[in-house]
Amino acid sequence: MSSSPRPPDVGGEPARGYLLDNARAEAGERFAWLAELFDGVTRGHFDRLGVGAGSRCWEVGAGGPSIPAALAAAVGPSGHVLATDIDPSWLTAGGGYEVRRHDVTADPPPEPGTFDLVHARLVLVHLPERSRALATMAAALRPGGWLLVEDADTALQPLACLDDSGPAQRRANRLRDAVRELLTRRGADLRFGRTLPRALRAAGLVEVAATGSFPVGGTACNRLEAATVRHVRGELLAAGLADDAEIDAHLAAIDAGELDLTLAPLISAWGRRPAAG
């Protein structure tokens, strides 16, 4: 999910729009490493929820192509996959799925009441209008269809380095705090992940359950961290939350393999639209 980039704190007003927008080159790097870290988790949920040949699926705020492509492979030629985003420029036309520009917080649901699965990953946490987005996604489900929402809970585990053992690790954690501050200023809810089961029940879904996961260490965590810091470097500097020397030292520590980086837990929650009658 994305919006047009805007400078932070213009004229003393909080910045608006998605901090990690799709308009910058680093977005593609982030999509690739997020896929490496979490696509296995997400595909496991698809399998358990019965996505297969002939299923109709809507991927909300798709960002990159990996999940739409995985859904297209699962549903085959008899199924249908719709991938939407405010900025769909990273999606692949002709990849076996339909691509549309769509704002889940403002536009009506596409093809309401028809989808076997609606899925969003790392989307709603960034949207101040997340309740409206959830209602739109639930309205797109057929009776008996599943909504799967996966979002971070950064407040549940806020550290970049769990082993806060030295200056490089403490610097990484300070910079993670700074990025969290930028996200909060943009309207992100850093405690949203833990509320997903309750939010799905409030949206009228039944058979609600959830699980959580987060990786620790490895190349994908390192490269995702580097891409994220480069993505928001200008905003960190403009807001006075970090300086060039601190950012450069952090990126150098990542490149040197000195840090065992981790992420906030990804909470995956699912619920079913009640069957008709």
Which DSSP string do the residues of 40-86 spell out, in sequence order? HHHHHHHHHTT--TT-EEEEET--SSHHHHHHHHHH-TTSEEEEEES
Quick check: is 4 in a domain?
no
Q: Where are the alpha helices (DSSP H) in the chain?
A: 25-48, 66-75, 130-139, 167-185, 196-202, 219-238, 244-255
What pLDDT does residue 25 have? 64
Quick check: is 167 in a domain?
yes
What pLDDT does residue 10 have? 30
Domain of 24? Answer: 12-272
In one-letter notation, the amino acid at residue 62 is A
> How far is the first Cα of the chain from the last one, in angstroms, to the nearest whole number?
35
Check residue 122 and give left, alpha or beta (phi > 0: left; psi -120 to 50: alpha). Answer: left
Residues 6+ apart with CB under 8 A from 41: 150, 213, 266, 268
Quick check: is 28 in a domain?
yes
Q: How far apart are CA 81 and CA 97, in angstroms?
A: 5
Q: How far apart are CA 142 and CA 113, in angstroms?
A: 4
- Number of domains the chain contains: 1
Please, are residues 264 and 154 in contact by the beta-carbon 8 Å criterion?
yes
Quick check: is 7 in a domain?
no
Quick check: is 135 in a domain?
yes
Q: How many CB atoms lie within 10 A of CB 114?
A: 15
- Joined together, the tokens standing for residue 155 give 């407040």
Q: How far apart are CA 61 and CA 195, in angstroms?
A: 20
CB crowding 68-84: b at 16 or more within 10 Å, else e:
bbbbbebbeeebbbbbb
What pLDDT does residue 188 have? 84
Quick check: is 175 in a domain?
yes
Please, are residues 206 and 270 in contact by the beta-carbon 8 Å criterion?
no
Quick check: is 112 in a domain?
yes
What pLDDT does residue 125 have? 86
What pLDDT does residue 22 have? 55
Backbone phi, psi, residue 42, to 5°: -65, -45
Quick check: is 3 in a domain?
no
Q: How far apart are CA 101 and CA 131, in angstroms?
A: 20
Which residues of the chain have a pLDDT value below 50? 1-15
CATH number at residue 266: 3.40.50.150
